[in-house]
Structure 1
Amino acid sequence: MKRKTVLLVDDNPGNLKLLVDSLEGENLNVAVAQQGEEALQRLQRTHLKKPDLILLDVMMPGIGGYETCRRIKSEPDLADIPIIFLSALTDTDEKIAGFAMGAVDYITKPINCAELIARVNTHLELSDLRKRLDQRIKMRTQELVDANNSLRHEIEERLRAEKQIRYIATHDLLTDLPNRVLFEDRLNQLFVQAKRRNEKVVLMFLDLDQFKIINDSLGHQIGDKLILEVSKRLKGAIRAEDSIARFGGDEFALCFPTRDCQQEIELIVKNITDSFRKPFIINDLTIHASASIGIAIYPDDGTDADTLMRNADTAMHHAKQSGRAEARQYTAELNRHLQDHLNLSNLLRDAIENHELFLEYQPQVDLNTGKIIGAEALMRWSQGDGRLVSPAEFIPVAEATGLIKDLGELGLRLSCRELKRWIESGYDDLSMSVNISVPQLHATGFVETIEHLVNEFRIPPSLLKLEITESLLMEHSEAILNILKRLSDFGIQLSVDDFGTGYSSLAYLQDFPVNDLKIDITFIRNIGTEHGNAIPSAIIAMAHSLHLKVVAEGIEHNRQREFLRSRGCDYAQGFLYSRPVSGEEFLEKCSEVNRGITSVSLG
């Protein structure tokens, strides 16, 4: 069978690679153009074979997708080539505009490759059918009955294909649930019905907690199977008359009309929560999953689909921030909180550019000798009017907006600069601990950035200690292992921060090239209470058995210090010794301790 040719027009190199690989895997020839002008020039070259189908991105520099489509359709020898639009725009008006231009289909981004292949193959088949039909019409026929039968058969095939396309356009291929397009249509129908019957409509957004970690650590195949099993449980947790959809990724939505609003909400939430209590068994793996739920009510929280979905999404994000596996109902206060969040993110972006961020350093002390062995660098923000913004306020905003990468890079540069100053002041054995976020570690070129900073400031790499979160142990991916090994081989020290609060397997510690563990402050606070001594003792013993050093953070009382010292804990930090201080104050404390002016308690 002759291979079909698809012309792919997209200005995004990442999209091009993904789509080219998928299409060529289906035994299709793929031609590529990165702009509308380039596509039109290729189509006008008479020595090149016309493509059998065109995949055309809507948003491109230069001539956009719609204009490119119009010009193609205006050429008689090109007008019959089926065109499928690719776009991140999901508005119905955008799709109608695309079909009005002569496109045969409209696929929204992010693109599901399986869906794309299904639609491409369907439209190639439809194109072949149309061509064969045109040829048969032109051919002379001897028997009118045979011609009519053939035509009827072709029409039936086309109707079946169009029915299949309509189904694909309104359903999720993985779960077979309605997708966002069909769900919005049903939601609008419920609004009309509710207004006529004086009812309300409940909309729930549901998002799996920490699904990315499961997907990245266990693979997308396991992730897809988990999504499929979740969809089955959700269908079992709701009533037959309720509408449920998958919006993509790990996000689901459901809606239903109601008169007794709160009672029915509580019932559905309980059913959904109960459905997650039993673990999922995927390929002999036991996976515990939970979901965060956001709730909005028509007409109280919105009188149109866009507003109601936006408010349900806001409530869902607040449910995640409340600790996950929670359900939150939308209120005006949540919206104000969201606006505050947006305002703070804008201020933070300006603060980075205006150099309003700086570091303070909390001393770390050898529990046996009382000597200061280093410090943890902590980010601070002083606004232009002198008001200090708490890290508890701006760090979550930075993580949610992606600014955490910029903050992390700034923190690393300032830390290395200060460490160089300590060395030049004669303190060439002090270490600098710097917190590294998960997005920062995943960023392209992170290891090269560390190497560049160490070489730029000419500091021994062994004096720089990077503190990683315990959640990274859960990933246990080859990529993370490779990054940490490269850092360790370069001489960088690695520490697991807030150890004991995550769900990592202790066996993973043997695989990661870490140097020490930091016992989380929550366990330090419980020292001296009933059962409060057990966990710190166990962590210290376990770490030493793995030849790892142990740092206890948050020490505020002598009894905590004495207990940890009696258990062999190596290092400590906390208000008992010192609050975070400026670089100058830190060096003064080091000088005082070295000269014996102060006791072990530095604060």
Structure 2
Amino acid sequence: MKLLKKYRYSLNFRITMITIVFIILGMLSMILYTNASVAKLTDKTLGTMDRELYYLIDEYYTNYINEISLRIEENYNGYMEEIQILGQIFQEVFDKEEDLARVLSVIKEDPYFKDQIIFNGKWGQNTSDEPTTVFLGSCLYDDNGEIKPDVQSAIDKTAIFDLIMPAFYKHGKDKMQVYYTGGEDEDYTRMAPWADIGHSVYDIYPEIYDRPIWDVFNPGLIEDWTERMLEKGIGNPNLIRVSHPIQDGITDGIVLSLTHPIWDRKTQTFKGHVVYDITIESVIEQVESIKISNSGFAMLIQSDGNIFAINEKGASVLGLKAVVEDTNSSASGTGFKSFGRYIQDSTMESVRNLKFLETNEIKEIDLNGETYLFIHKKMNSFVSWTPQSGFYDEAWTLAFLVPRDEIYKMYINSENQIKNDQDIAIRQQVGIGVVILGFLVVFITLYNTRMTSKLNALTQKVKQMKANNYQVDFDIHSEDEIGKLASAFEDMQHEIQDSLSRLKVQNELLKNEIDERIKKDRIIDYLENFDSQTDLLNKKALLNMLKDLSLDHDQTFASLIIIGLDEFRKINDAYTFKVGDEIIQALATKLDQVAQSHELLFRIGGDEFAILFKGKDLNELILKVEEISALFKKTFSIRMHDVTLSASIGISTFPHDTSDTLDLFKYANIAMNHAKETNRGGSEYYNEAMNYSARNRIEMIHELNQAIENNELSLNFQPIVEIETNKIAGVEVLLRWRSKKFGHVSPTVFIKLAEQSKLIVKIGSWVLEEALKALGRFEAAGFGHIEMAINISVIQLMQHDLVEETRILFDKYPVKDKQITFEVTEGLFINDFEKVRTTFDALEALGVQISIDDFGTGYSSLSYLKNLAINRLKIDRSFISELHDKAGGEITNAVIALANNLNLRVIAEGVENVEQLEHLRERGCDEAQGFLFSKPLDFEHCIEFLKQDRL
């Protein structure tokens, strides 16, 4: 027991145990790390598989559902086109009633067209050997059993339809029947092919023996249709009504009715309607038989959630009951039955909450514990009507439901296999670790026993040194660490003997180091408070001085004057940064000469200086500002260049503007920025109005950043007229902002803000896409030839991948070659010329034309016009308004001549009177725009304007 206790406290035991613990921890860490790495790789692999599988699913089913929906849409669109043609023929017959009077009088007496109508006391009907059925309810007969005169006249006028209706029934798309029903008080029916309507219909609907057909089948439709006709106009396709799917009680077929109204143009009243009854059983069978997967199915859904096409398995999965039949039939059980199988009546909440009218995307839905993928496509809408809802837009939705596990079967199997392999690998690592651990324990125990014997001998010799015996003989000689430790102790004896002498030397070195550090601190202090280029105090020094600023007994105020160079970047671009640095140094020297001994000069930025001025009379301050301004009225001669600088100056004064001296810097900056915006090259003194202006600017930038999301931006279009033909050649897109907070904001205000805050990139992208959408709407309205000019900011073109964005949008919204023109300002050309040329060439390859806006007001060189892919020049409105002035007229004439010589088209903007237009026409100007023709218009008014031009 004593031996165990002694060994327990020995170094050998401790080293062995610590080593074993660390080995165990190391092996455990390695196993955990390996397991984590495998798990991470597994998750990454499975994630990649999941993502790629999702993309494949999305592409496959999206294409599949688009193809099926396209077939369905093409089917009923064909019927819509046919009935529109037939309706137009009927309308034309009624419209030309007077012109056809002689023909109609002959037709009604001809044996082929003569309607032999027999009245049996309940209804009247012609004989079966006639081309079409003519059917009348008893309400259309008088008390003597004779057809009412007005009704008989209406029947005679439609006898000509015996030729037309059978032809439409037999040819074109398949139909159950084609029939015409007269309007109020004339609601007889003419149908092709001939059918025994009296027995088949009246057996089903005995209530219409004595009631008008409109009151039974479509109460209220005539009034709604009349109102809609007056709104839309005769012949408008949106007047065609498509019924809900119903089951015909006679044939049991699933039927849609397409009805086209006929109008009396003289009285602007409802005349009757022509109807197609078509069967859609093939469409329903097509949907119900779609094979998506082993357990997947398809369905067709009306906008009110009624599922009228789904197979029995799908209905069961969705928890839908059998079809509920809303039957308008007699006791015999026959009639016209509308399906009532609604999503909201499902027994499952997940189905009731299904958002099938939202944006088309793949959703996941849980059905009885199994996850299904829901893929849907909303098809083109058509017009429908019910007595309860009136006219409304109806759109069917085609949907697929596919069990997720069927598609992800390979993914799930791979996941289980990977996890199983991972468990096996961990067990193998643990087994190998146990074997290695046992071997290491034995080895470490034996090695530590040998090592500790030397340590015990070394311990005894160290104890002798502790007793101040520095003559110990360390006779332990080995090449391992213990031998090196013994040698180190031996060396330490010699070190202790001369430690005092070394300490003295170290003290001397420490003193020298302290002196050197003081010198470095002085250098650091200089770098923190002085500008290395001009040797002037910097911004940090200024703020420190403002913090402790105080006035002497003979001083009444202190002012901070901030001088900001205007557009100094252009100097660097034009003359290189080296020349720019020399200009800054020369300006610093001149400002230092202006600043007196009691005034401090600072350089607070790359192109900004400041002077801290103290005085007794404010007139001294005004004179000082004028003296500074005078410096910039002279040129700076640097390296054989005469350079003219412009500077905007802002001044803030203590205690007049603020009681806090630190605010002087903020207020002087506000004043300088105000000068740059409203009085560039001048000086501005801070006041509360400036502060309000700065806050207002920040708020306006914030509101502008939210304008797209808040739907506050809109586009206007100003027509561009070809002068020679006086026809509209195109439109210019103009941006408008009506802010909820600021109301209508002028483009001259918010465009400048957008460019300064770089929001112009985001807004410009929105304008470009919305303009291309509008171009598609122009084409849909019949103006596919129209050209469109879109303003592009310099920032968009220089700091944004405009070419790639344009390419993507052209793929999304197809345009014709040279239909789009980008208008850019001349200021663009003082930037990177090579980038501008490369960008213009790429845009030209996309079919985009380039126009130089406000030509003659900027920095253009004729070399730009020759070397860049430019198609148009636009003369600024300032020149057009001064055509009466000799200088303005000569500039305009020169621009037109220049454009003609370079084969460029030239456009004049701001044309407001006929005299200006005639001047431009005589000089050969190609196009013009301005209030003489039209102000900027919204889309609807622009369409109306274009239609007037077409007339």
The two structures have a TM-score, normalised by structure 1, of: 0.70
Q: How does 1:502-581 map to 2 (within 5 A)?
A: 502-581=858-937
Note the alpha carbon deviations across 1:234-293, whole angstroms, 9 max, x for none.
Answer: 2233334321212222222222101221x2333233222222223334444443321111
How far apart, in 1, do the equivalents of 2:861 and 2:587 lie?
25
Query: Which residue is equivalent to 2:126?
Result: none
How far apart, in 2, do the equivalents of 1:236 and 1:491 lie?
58
Query: Which residue is equivalent to 1:312?
Result: 668
Query: Which residue is equivalent to 2:591?
Result: 234
Deviation at 1:174, TM superposition (A): 2.3
The alignment status of 1:500 with 2:880, answered yes or no, reads: no
Query: Which residue is equivalent to 1:192?
Result: 550
C-alpha contact 1:366 1:373 (8 A) present in aligned 2 = yes
Q: What is the letter of the counterpart of residue 942 of structure 2?
A: F
How far apart, in 2, do the equivalents of 1:272 and 1:517 lie?
41
C-alpha contact 1:203 1:295 (8 A) present in aligned 2 = yes
Identity %: 36
C-alpha contact 2:615 2:621 (8 A) present in aligned 1 = no
The alignment status of 1:173 with 2:529, answered yes or no, reads: no
Deviation at 1:180, TM superposition (A): 0.5
Deviation at 1:169, TM superposition (A): 0.7
Work out which of the residue numbers 204, 209, 214 in structure 1 matches 2:566: 209
Q: What is the letter of the counterpart of residue 332 of structure 1?
A: E
Q: How does 1:347-358 map to 2 (within 5 A)?
A: 347-358=703-714
Note the alpha carbon deviations across 1:39-75, whole angstroms, 9 max, x for none.
Answer: xxxxxxxxxxxxxxxxxxxxxxxxxxxxxxxxxxxxx
How far apart, in 1, do the equivalents of 2:856 and 2:500 lie?
81
C-alpha contact 1:292 1:319 (8 A) present in aligned 2 = yes
The alignment status of 1:396 with 2:752, answered yes or no, reads: yes
Unaligned runs of 5+ in 2: 1-497
The alignment status of 1:452 with 2:808, answered yes or no, reads: yes
C-alpha contact 1:217 1:476 (8 A) present in aligned 2 = no
Q: How does 1:470-509 map to 2 (within 5 A)?
A: 470-509=826-865
Q: Structure 1 pair 488/277, CA: closer, same or farther in 2 (3 Å)?
A: farther
How far apart, in 2, do the equivalents of 1:502 and 1:533 lie?
18
How far apart, in 1, do the equivalents of 2:507 and 2:744 lie?
82
How far apart, in 2, do the equivalents of 1:385 and 1:286 lie?
48
Work out which of the residue numbers 691, 694, 708 in structure 2 matches 1:338: 694
Q: Structure 1 pair 479/530, CA: closer, same or farther in 2 (3 Å)?
A: closer
C-alpha contact 2:565 2:607 (8 A) present in aligned 1 = yes
Deviation at 1:504, TM superposition (A): 3.7
Deviation at 1:523, TM superposition (A): 1.5
What SS does structure 1 have at the residue aligned with 2:888? coil
Tell me which structure has the larger Cα radius of gyration.
2
Query: Which residue is equivalent to 2:127?
Result: none
What SS does structure 2 have at the residue aligned with 1:192? coil
C-alpha contact 1:141 1:147 (8 A) present in aligned 2 = no
C-alpha contact 1:454 1:460 (8 A) present in aligned 2 = no
Q: What is the letter of the counterpart of residue 550 of structure 2?
A: V
Note the alpha carbon deviations across 1:60-106, whole angstroms, 9 max, x for none.
Answer: xxxxxxxxxxxxxxxxxxxxxxxxxxxxxxxxxxxxxxxxxxxxxxx
How far apart, in 1, do the equivalents of 2:597 and 2:834 lie?
44
C-alpha contact 2:554 2:616 (8 A) present in aligned 1 = no
What SS does structure 2 have at the residue aligned with 1:375? strand
Unaligned runs of 5+ in 1: 1-138, 596-603
Deviation at 1:229, TM superposition (A): 3.1
With 180-189 and 276-285 compared, the bigger mean Cα shift is at: 276-285
With 508-517 and 454-463 compared, the bigger mean Cα shift is at: 508-517
The alignment status of 1:462 with 2:818, answered yes or no, reads: yes
What SS does structure 2 have at the residue aligned with 1:450? helix
Q: Structure 1 pair 481/149, CA: closer, same or farther in 2 (3 Å)?
A: farther
Note the alpha carbon deviations across 1:146-187, whole angstroms, 9 max, x for none.
Answer: 767655554443333221111111112222221111112233
How far apart, in 2, do the equivalents of 1:454 and 1:515 lie?
20
C-alpha contact 2:761 2:800 (8 A) present in aligned 1 = no
C-alpha contact 2:547 2:662 (8 A) present in aligned 1 = no
How far apart, in 2, do the equivalents of 1:141 and 1:496 lie?
86
Q: Structure 1 pair 386/294, CA: closer, same or farther in 2 (3 Å)?
A: closer
With 328-337 and 389-398 compared, the bigger mean Cα shift is at: 389-398
What SS does structure 2 have at the residue aligned with 1:462? coil
How far apart, in 2, do the equivalents of 1:529 and 1:277 lie?
31
Q: How does 1:46-195 map to 2 (within 5 A)?
A: 151=510, 153-189=512-548, 191-194=549-552
How far apart, in 1, do the equivalents of 2:563 and 2:741 lie?
41
What SS does structure 1 have at the residue aligned with 2:911? coil
Could you say what the CA RMSD is over the residues aligned between the two structures, in angstroms? 2.7
The alignment status of 1:421 with 2:777, answered yes or no, reads: yes
Q: What is the letter of the counterpart of residue 551 of structure 2?
A: Q
C-alpha contact 2:820 2:848 (8 A) present in aligned 1 = yes
Q: Structure 1 pair 153/293, CA: closer, same or farther in 2 (3 Å)?
A: same
How far apart, in 1, do the equivalents of 2:500 and 2:894 lie?
89
With 383-392 and 511-520 compared, the bigger mean Cα shift is at: 383-392
How far apart, in 2, do the equivalents of 1:457 and 1:537 lie?
39
Q: Give the number of aligned pairs.
A: 454
Work out which of the residue numbers 594, 601, 605 in structure 2 matches 1:248: 605
What SS does structure 2 have at the residue aligned with 1:459? coil
Larger relative contact order, structure 1 or 2 (CA cutoff 8 Å, min sep 6): 1
C-alpha contact 2:559 2:664 (8 A) present in aligned 1 = no
The two structures have a TM-score, normalised by structure 2, of: 0.45
